């Protein structure tokens, strides 16, 4: 093995592999939706947040409406090393707050426009600087902001169509450390440090079919978004080992945020009780290959096949109107991981998850309302082995749960 080539390849490979090799979709667009595990989200139309899932459903609004949302996520993701207790970590993902804003404005009885700001993708994990498997995970974060301008038109009493244009800003940070090694390099030495951002565009489209006043279904699609994250790259490995000794280079990584399709249904079964359901498909198979580039190099400095699989999320929920002022909700969802066993990673040790959700809406006497939603997400325990670029194989057992609490205020003009 040529040590200098191996170390240089390691530092470049890390910037591409860990930041985007796990599922990082966000569903947290509304507190009302969280209360029913986001079942029927594209067809329910109980507040302006519906535009995040289906712009065609905006024709359900005859008055202007504004919604503001804040969702707190408390993850509980732990790691255990199968043969090394130094790998044990109680929590590798920090708490997070996801905000969102929506405004819908009817122009006439058939035409409606809307503007929203929310996020469809994001991730964050943190491990100690001296973590033995520091090459596999350290600090990884991805933040995206989606600005969505939409319009919808009602063709007749049954059929509405909505179209949207999306501006997506993405910002990423990746830090890796050299970890345990036989070369006398301190474990906390930075093997890779990269920051990058980009702005890109996409589109979304949605249809709403109203069978009658009590039953409707929707189908919505959100396009892929191609990003070229550009920024600074450096490492603190010594020059004698093929490192950069803190020198900063320009680097870039091309990634594709996957497309999403969702079928939703709403059925008012009685004056008080309604049933909701959704099936959401995410095209994670767009992550077939990752390529990273460094300044002045025409060919990729890193190439890797990922083989992500497309995944499906299924949800069912109910709403119950208690008199005129209170709506109660509950829901269940099964969220399928897109990551095959052979490609699991400790940066985000993803697994299949079950959502248990509940929530409520209080309707004030004026034109405003308040939503509260809560979910507990239970992830499966998974065991896997991950190998770093120095050939060291690390064995892990991972447990991943989360608690979500969301609040939302709505005002109808």
Q: What is the pLDDT of residues 216-267, one digit of tens each?
A: 999 999 999 999 989 888 888 898 877 788 888 898 888 889 999 999 999 9
Does the structure show a pLDDT above 80 at 85?
no
Q: State whether residue 16 is helix, strand or coil.
A: helix
Which tokens hold the place of 139?
């600090």
Element (H, E) at 212: strand 190-212
Strands (E) in 295-381, as ranges, are 302-305, 311-322, 326-335, 353-363, 368-379
Tokens 């929530």 belong to 359
Query: What would the mean pLDDT of 137-159 be, rounded to a whole number?
Result: 93
Question: pLDDT tens digits for 160-214?
Answer: 999 999 999 999 888 889 889 888 899 999 888 888 899 999 999 999 999 999 9
Query: What would the mean pLDDT of 113-131 be, rounded to a whole number?
Result: 91
For every residue of 221-245, DSSP letters joined together read EE--EEEEEEEEEE----GGGT--T
Could you give the CA distance from residue 195 to residue 250 in angstroms, rounded to a whole number?
Answer: 10
Query: What would the mean pLDDT of 293-308 be, rounded to a whole number?
Result: 66
* Cα-only R_g, the chain: 23
Residue 247 CB coordination number (10 Å): 11
Q: What pTM value is reported for the model?
A: 0.90
pLDDT at 1: 39
pLDDT band for position 299 (cuts 50, 70, 90): low
Does the structure show a pLDDT above 90 at 361?
yes
Does the structure show a pLDDT above 70 at 399?
yes
**Under 8 Å between Cβ of 197 and 173:** no
Question: pLDDT tens digits for 14-48?
Answer: 433 333 333 678 889 999 999 999 999 999 999 99
Query: What would the mean pLDDT of 83-100 be, rounded to a whole number?
Result: 84
pLDDT at 215: 97
Which tokens hold the place of 355?
């959502």
Could you give the CA distance from residue 413 to residue 410 in angstroms, rounded to a whole number?
Answer: 10
**Under 8 Å between Cβ of 267 and 214:** yes
Could you give the CA distance from residue 164 to residue 51 in angstroms, rounded to a whole number?
Answer: 9
Cα diameter, the chain:
75
């Amino acid at each position: 093995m040529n040590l200098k080539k191996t170390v240089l390849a390691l530092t470049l490979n890390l910037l591409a592999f860990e930041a985007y090799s796990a599922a990082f979709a966000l569903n947290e667009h509304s507190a009302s939706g969280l209360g029913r595990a986001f079942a029927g989200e594209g067809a329910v139309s109980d507040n302006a947040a519906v535009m995040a899932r289906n712009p065609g459903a905006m024709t359900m609004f005859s008055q202007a409406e504004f919604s503001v949302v804040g969702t707190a996520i408390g993850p509980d993701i732990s790691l255990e090393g199968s043969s090394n207790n130094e790998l044990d970590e109680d929590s590798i993902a920090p708490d997070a707050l996801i905000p969102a804003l929506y405004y819908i404005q009817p122009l006439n009885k058939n035409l409606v426009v809307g503007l929203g700001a929310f996020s469809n993708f994001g991730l964050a994990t943190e491990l100690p600087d001296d973590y033995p498997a520091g090459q596999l995970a350290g600090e990884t974060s991805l933040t995206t902001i989606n600005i969505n301008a939409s319009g919808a038109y009602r063709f007749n009493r049954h059929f509405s169509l909505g179209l949207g244009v999306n501006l997506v800003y993405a910002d990423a940070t990746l830090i890796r450390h050299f970890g345990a090694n036989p070369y006398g390099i301190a474990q906390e030495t930075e093997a890779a440090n990269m920051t990058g951002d980009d702005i890109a565009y996409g589109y979304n489209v949605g249809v709403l079919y109203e069978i009658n006043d009590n039953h409707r279904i929707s189908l919505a699609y959100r396009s892929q978004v191609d990003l070229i994250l550009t920024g600074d790259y450096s490492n603190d490995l010594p020059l004698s080992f093929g490192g950069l000794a803190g020198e900063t280079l320009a680097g870039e990584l091309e990634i594709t945020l996957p497309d999403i399709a969702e079928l939703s249904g709403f059925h008012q079964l009685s004056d008080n009780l309604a049933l909701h359901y959704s099936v959401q498909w995410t095209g994670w198979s767009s992550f077939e290959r990752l390529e990273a580039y460094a300044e002045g190099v025409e060919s990729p400095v890193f190439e890797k096949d990922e083989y992500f699989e497309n995944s499906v999320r299924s949800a069912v929920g109910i709403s119950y109107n208690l008199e005129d002022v209170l709506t109660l909700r509950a829901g269940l969802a099964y969220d399928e991981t897109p990551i095959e066993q052979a490609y699991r990673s400790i940066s985000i040790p993803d697994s299949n998850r079950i959502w248990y959700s509940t929530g409520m809406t209080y309707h004030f006497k004026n034109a405003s309302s308040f939503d509260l939603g809560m979910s507990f997400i239970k992830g499966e325990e998974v065991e896997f082995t991950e190998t770093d670029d120095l050939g060291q194989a690390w064995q892990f057992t991972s447990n991943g749960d989360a608690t979500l609490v969301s609040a939302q205020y709505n005002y109808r003009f």
